[in-house]
């Protein structure tokens, strides 16, 4: 994330969640960069999004101008 964001720190949070009887493994990566990340622009985030969605998962990106950026990825899995 620091390559484009100017971030000097990042955090990673992993968890197991249940939603509508399905178990998901979730990973959230947050940095202290300048924000503005947009998966619609192609590149790395779009590639991650397409791979996660192909496995039945979902990706959400929150990256307001000024930061921080937070990317959450969820993949279905067996409990």
> Which CATH number does the domain housing residue 29 bear?
3.30.565.10
Task: State the residue range of the domain holding 50.
Answer: 2-77
Q: Percent of the chain at pLDDT above 90?
A: 62
Q: Over 50: is that where the pLDDT of 46 sits?
A: yes
Position of tokens 């959400």?
Answer: 60
Q: Per-residue pLDDT tens for 14-39?
A: 999 888 888 999 999 999 999 988 87
Residues in the chain: 79
Q: What's the predicted TM-score (pTM) here?
A: 0.82
54 contacts: CB under 8 Å, gap ≥ 6: none
What letter does residue 2 receive in the DSSP assignment? H
Structurally, the chain folds into a number of domains equal to 1
Mean pLDDT of 34-61: 88
Confidence of residue 4 (pLDDT cuts 50, 70, 90): low
Position of tokens 């000024």?
Answer: 66
């Amino acid at each position: 994330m620091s390559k484009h964001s100017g971030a000097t720190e990042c955090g990673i949070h992993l968890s197991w969640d249940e939603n509508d009887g399905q178990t998901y493994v979730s990973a959230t990566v947050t940095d202290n960069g300048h924000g503005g990340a947009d998966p619609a622009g192609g590149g790395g985030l779009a590639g991650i999004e397409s791979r996660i969605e192909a496995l039945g998962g979902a990706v959400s990106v929150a990256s307001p101008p000024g930061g921080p950026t937070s990317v959450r990825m969820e993949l279905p899995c067996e409990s």
